[in-house]
Amino acid sequence: MSDDYESYDYDDEEAVVSRSEIKRHMLALQALGERLVGLKPAQWEAFGFSEGMLDALQESLRIKSHNAMRRHIRRLGKLLSKEDTEKVELLFKRMDDRAMQDTQRFHRIEHWRDRLIDGDDKTLSDLLDICPNIDVQHVRQLIRSSKKERELAKPSAAQRKLFKYLRELEID
């Protein structure tokens, strides 16, 4: 009885692990394919895909059915296994980083707008230290209009104008 136990072959367990790994890899490729479908066709050129992959991506534009798209994404995953996925992941990482930086910049500009509206002349002088080329008179007018809009509970047109002006200043 102990001879049977000692001769137990562990290869079956390793095969299960490797199949699981293959499945995780294919699911990751399908997720990449799904992200690719969400991009604009002009962005696909930056990835340097083969012609077959580009054709499959173009085909995804014509698919309307949810189930058909799921099948197509599985197909894209298989096609991606023949492509340079490290390059694809790197380009997506750069896109994500750029989007995160844009979001952070957006929040910084919002913060400056709110500080200018809620603050005093000290806040405006802080902004002048960072960006000396601003039109102070224009900014003060936008601040006054924004405060008045808040008091009267009107739509915030002046706040949007102030935000737009601050965004054009390239505040960082």
How do residues 16-61 score in pLDDT, each as one tens digit? 557 888 888 888 888 888 888 988 888 888 888 889 889 999 999 9
Confidence at residue 9, expressed as pLDDT on a 0 to 100 scale: 52
128 closest CA partner among 118, 138, 103, 161: 138
* 66 vs 4, more confident: 66
CATH class of 92-168: mainly alpha
Confidence at residue 69, expressed as pLDDT on a 0 to 100 scale: 92
Residue 148 to residue 142: CA distance in whole angstroms:
10
Confidence at residue 167, expressed as pLDDT on a 0 to 100 scale: 86
3-state helix, strand, coil in the chain (%, to 5): 80, 0, 20
Confidence at residue 75, expressed as pLDDT on a 0 to 100 scale: 92
Confidence at residue 68, expressed as pLDDT on a 0 to 100 scale: 92
36 closest CA partner among 82, 71, 88, 75: 88
The token pair at 18 is 């490797």
The token pair at 25 is 């890899």
Residue 1 has pLDDT above 60, yes or no: no
Residue 20 to residue 38: CA distance in whole angstroms:
27
At residue 47, φ and ψ (nearest 5 deg) are -85, -15
* 122 vs 79, more confident: 79
**Poorest-confidence range of 82-86, 100-104, 107-111?**
82-86
Confidence at residue 70, expressed as pLDDT on a 0 to 100 scale: 93
Distances (CA, A) of 62 to 17, 57, 126: 37, 10, 53
Q: 74 pLDDT band (50/70/90 cuts)?
A: very high
The whole-number average pLDDT for the span 152-163 is 86
Residue 8 has pLDDT above 80, yes or no: no
Tell me the CATH architecture of domain 2-83: Orthogonal Bundle (1.10)
- Whether residue 136 contacts residue 121, with contact meaning beta carbons closer than 8 Å, is answered with no
Domain ranges of the chain: 2-83, 92-168
Confidence at residue 11, expressed as pLDDT on a 0 to 100 scale: 52
Residue 64 to residue 53: CA distance in whole angstroms:
19
Tell the burial category of 81 from Cβ atoms under 10 Å away from its Cβ (0-12, 13-18, 19+).
Answer: exposed
The whole-number average pLDDT for the span 128-152 is 86
Between CA 28 and CA 38, with CA 33 as vertex, the angle to 5 degrees is: 125
